[in-house]
């Protein structure tokens, strides 16, 4: 998950090798649909990425099954991952992901970005 996040942080490059085209990275991380994650008013959804501008810092978040989360700040070259195996589904799983995002990952990113 970290390596996948690094691909997006580095605009599709892995070391000196291009794995994903830069144009796809730009398209995938552009706002295509609004969302209501309540981080702030500048939010949207790209291609499998939740996008927000948190305290003037663009943040991208991918959320997967059972609590797998990748949070990225390209500006600060930072990737944070959370792996979990929640034993719940439906609304309860969504609530747990939102809690992890708002109470763990975003504050962690804020701490890193503030330095």
Mean pLDDT of 39-56: 71
Confidence of residue 49 (pLDDT cuts 50, 70, 90): confident
What pLDDT, on a 0 to 100 scale, did the predictor assign at position 42? 57
- Please tell me the total count of domains within the chain: 1
Q: What is the CATH number of the domain that holds 94?
A: 3.40.710.10
- Give the rounded percent of residues in the chain with a pLDDT score beyond 90: 21
Say if residues 27 and 47 touch (Cβ distance below 8 Å): yes
pLDDT, one tens digit per residue, over 90-105 is 777 777 777 777 777 7
């Amino acid at each position: 998950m970290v390596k996948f996040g690094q691909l997006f942080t580095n605009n599709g490059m892995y070391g000196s090798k291009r794995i994903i085209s830069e144009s796809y990275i730009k398209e995938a991380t552009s706002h295509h649909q609004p969302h209501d994650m309540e981080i702030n008013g500048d939010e949207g959804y790209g291609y499998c990425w939740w996008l927000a501008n948190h305290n003037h810092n663009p943040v991208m978040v991918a959320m997967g099954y059972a609590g797998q989360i990748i949070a990225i700040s390209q500006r600060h070259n930072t990737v944070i991952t959370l792996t979990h195996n929640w034993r719940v589904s439906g609304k309860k799983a969504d609530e747990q992901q939102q809690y992890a995002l708002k109470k763990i990952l975003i504050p962690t990113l804020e701490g890193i970005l503030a330095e």
